[in-house]
Structure 1
């Protein structure tokens, strides 16, 4: 299964590159030409070199990227524009994107994030968080950032964005950061967003963070970070509607995909859920975290998540729900189908005592609702504990459904593979047998724990075949 997903990722990331008239390395004039798939094609094209960009790995290109986006934004109402980043190492600090715009990275292009912390602007905390994740104040702006955008594409021929996060991780561990670390890509308050066919390395913190956005497609992404790196979540859809995450390969120091919607009283007040989310064909390695996490910041609500064809290897847990008293909100109508799992501590993990509050002003009466959690068609091997399901006293997690699950326990597995407290649900065809709080239904009923039959709107978004053609002189 893992090999098949890797093949899909590679195929999804591949485009055709043709260098006409002798190629880029020869003197004279010629044309760069290639094709790719995107939600929208562009009428105008430019290269970062047209704006003074130098891909030597040493020259800081922040102004070149900022000027390129500013100049190309003039074409937003005239068919849009695409910015090509050719082969080379392009050192840059943060820059913003614009609407009706495509950023395209050549297969040998590497965006290198500046390691000069002073060169990173500071922005306010997210309103649904009210607080930085690393520190109480603001947060460093993300490397590639955009807000209030329509129709934006970040893609390539599997080009690379390297966050060079080591310096940030050191400062974090030493508790010397005044603000929250930057992400590699963050798109806010936007509609029609595509992030695809890229390799992301060593993010200072989270890798991809769409927030307060809709109609988002994230596909063909490879994310790599040391498994001990702090908070290097892979993809974090946050207060987003209609999101499709597919064909991704993630190795990280935190959750491979973390679904969020705001933190405590701030998330409750903002009231913007994540809903209608598809996750399919994910391969994850994360020894200290989950393949898919729901929360812990879920105070705006999480509803209608459909995850399918998940491979996790050396991952602490497959699916984890994280919440606590004070979170409020809800996690409901969650459907997970088809997991292939190898070596992990827990397969299923639900936690109602996950602390880490934004501040001391959270409402102790704000209890989360966890209901309608469905898992089926799971095969796991070398597992220490089948499940740890812990609701909240007086606020049990309900509507749990688990069917057709076979868990191979490790040689040194716990004597009691299931731990259940304050949960209610049903089960069928589960090995080893679950706790009594998940009542055995005997023979599996048709459609038990399965996906809803209707499709989500985001699945109807089709990609177009786009092209880039540009003359050059060398």
Structure 2
């Protein structure tokens, strides 16, 4: 019997597969993290005089080992093995075609002497240090203009010993912006996996101006009161995969960025094609944040199977007049929240600026944000969704959201436009127009909802873990 297709059938199929090339590409990128890259040349850090007693400074040993391994970059690459021990070091640079491998009980310790963290130029998309005007300290592990770099191991640890930096920050005695724990700039082909990162002085893992980045099966820990210890911050980077991670820190678990005000707009490199899946954590800030520095644009972000607890916010978009840029085509699904103050937060008044030269008339474009399949217990506010007067956030779509809310005013919405279906507690007035059947095409990536039964079964099993 011949099956007849109506126009609706055709449109639904087009919607289902319209994002398929991107989805397939990102799925393949994530899977690459499972491939074991074999380097034909290997050395151990002890061959270069390193001492793993937690006291001896091993910066020169790391630098000399990597300098030696650079001769193998065009011969299949090399591996630097860090065995059991506590290896104190200052900042050191990686090279292309290198694997840095930490043994199970290996700990790389960041020096508590700020002189061991050199001072470098600010990022061009920020125009200054993020915390202070001028320059910034280099990360503990740093790479620039590289290809094919892996940091991995048997769940070894990289410890930034950040408490001294946090004290300097609180006491306002810093001369330069604090360092990250790991930073890659202008690098293609990064894998960071199977490790624990603790006590970063500032943001923990920061790929900036990078492509093809995988962060997989890592644990990131810092005290909940530690300042600005973000977990993973893709920044003006594309084709990024973050999966199977646990993060408990003093700031955003993941913060997607793309430059700050006029500097980000001028640099003009967006963050795009970012996949986040199977992420668990707690924080005094947001589980997933976009911004506040998003002036180069953020788009095509897909996040699913998320579990946040004991946190301030589940999903947050932070921007303001002066930012410019855009946040669009964002899809969040299958999120579980427990003891979270605000499930979904959009703010157009996050007004921290790098200097007085920003353009207050540079308004951000926020559009096509879809959040679906969310459950929450002991949530105070369902949503604080605040756009900008004269710059309404558009096509915000909420679907299949069920929150147990303690506030008598669960939603607060202003300068926002969009649609919803099956939302509890009852959604605010600007979003009450139904998605189905008339506004399906206005919502980003709702094609995934056609597969919701299989996704929910898979996600439910994972969230019970």
Name the TM-score class by shorter chain: 0.7 to 0.9
* 1:67 aligned counterpart, secondary structure: helix
**Counterparts of 1:356 and 1:184, CA distance in 2:** 24
Q: Does 1:172 align with 2:169?
A: yes
Tell me the residue number matched to 1:472. Answer: none
Q: In 2, are the aligned partners of 1:40 and 1:151 still within 8 Å (CA)?
A: no
| Superposition pairs of residues 11-410 of structure 1, within 5 angstroms | 37-38=34-35, 40-286=37-283, 288-410=284-406
Tell me the residue number matched to 1:441. Answer: 434
Q: In 1, are the aligned partners of 2:397 and 2:435 still within 8 Å (CA)?
A: no
Tell me the residue number matched to 1:423. Answer: 416
**Counterparts of 2:180 and 2:436, CA distance in 1:** 47
**Counterparts of 2:209 and 2:35, CA distance in 1:** 21
1:426 to 1:451, Cα distance in 2 relative to 1, 3 A: closer
**Counterparts of 1:451 and 1:82, CA distance in 2:** 44
**Counterparts of 1:452 and 1:185, CA distance in 2:** 36
Deviation track 1:426-455 (CA, whole Å, cap 9, x = no partner) reads 0000000111100231768989654567xx
TM-score by length of 2: 0.87
Q: In 1, are the aligned partners of 2:277 and 2:306 still within 8 Å (CA)?
A: yes
* 1:314 aligned counterpart, secondary structure: strand
- The CA RMSD over aligned residues, in Å, is 1.5
Q: In 2, are the aligned partners of 1:323 and 1:352 still within 8 Å (CA)?
A: yes
Aligned residues: 414
**Counterparts of 1:312 and 1:422, CA distance in 2:** 27
**Counterparts of 1:79 and 1:438, CA distance in 2:** 55
* 1:168 aligned counterpart, secondary structure: helix
Counting strand residues as a fraction of each chain, which structure ranks higher?
1
* 1:315 aligned counterpart, secondary structure: strand
TM-score by length of 1: 0.85
- Structure 2: segments with no counterpart, 5+ residues: 1-32, 449-465
- Structure 1: segments with no counterpart, 5+ residues: 1-35, 454-474
Counting helix residues as a fraction of each chain, which structure ranks higher?
2
Q: In 1, are the aligned partners of 2:295 and 2:326 still within 8 Å (CA)?
A: yes
Shift of 1:303: 0.4
Q: In 1, are the aligned partners of 2:329 and 2:444 still within 8 Å (CA)?
A: no
Higher relative contact order (CA 8 A, sep 6+): 1
* 1:437 aligned counterpart, secondary structure: helix
Q: In 1, are the aligned partners of 2:332 and 2:371 still within 8 Å (CA)?
A: yes
Shift of 1:38: 4.5
Q: In 1, are the aligned partners of 2:418 and 2:433 still within 8 Å (CA)?
A: no
**Counterparts of 2:110 and 2:333, CA distance in 1:** 37
